[in-house]
Amino acid sequence: MSSAKNSLIASTLVSMLALASCVTNGREFPSRLDWVQKGKSRQQDVKLVLGDPQFVGSSDGVPAWTYGYYRYRLFGPSHTKEVKFYWNADRTVQSWSFNSSFPDDIDGVTAAPPKPASDVTR
């Protein structure tokens, strides 16, 4: 084989390996969710900001939507993040959860401050 042909094959293989070394699933979405309010934020609000959910289902009979962004790498660390919304019958947020392994999200997480005694239900 000629040297030029060997170089072409080698660069094609390297390009294919680089393309195959990272796979993503889902859509990137903002990690800041301080706009979400239990009992106030509605399904239409969530759709306006995040689009259609990637998964729909239920948890113990409660309707749930999941948004996920998954980035898998053959070489180096893989990262994922998910937000799940659980809905009241009136289509407002009952509760939600957010999980991420992206470094920017991990660095930004701080413990929630304790609630003042006046806010604690007895």
Q: Which of 83, 85, 84, 78 is nearest to 102 (CA)?
A: 78
* Alpha carbon distance 18, 47 (integer Å): 34
Q: What are the chain's domains? A: 21-109 (3.30.1450)
25, 79 Cβ separation under 8 angstroms: no
For residue 27, the SS3 value is coil
Tell me what pLDDT residue 10 has.
74
111 pLDDT tier (thresholds 50, 70, 90): very low
Give CA–CA dist 62/51, Å, rounded: 20
Mean pLDDT, range 47-76, rounded to an integer: 95
Banded pLDDT at 21 (limits 50, 70, 90): confident
Residue 53 per-residue DSSP state: -
Band the pLDDT of 117: cuts 50, 70, 90. Answer: low
> Whole-angstrom Cα distance, residue 88 to residue 65?
12
Share of the chain above pLDDT 70, in %: 80
Task: Compute the mean pLDDT over every residue in the chain, rounded to the nearest whole number.
Answer: 86
* Entry pTM: 0.71
Cβ neighbours for 59, distance < 8 A, ≥ 6 positions apart: 86
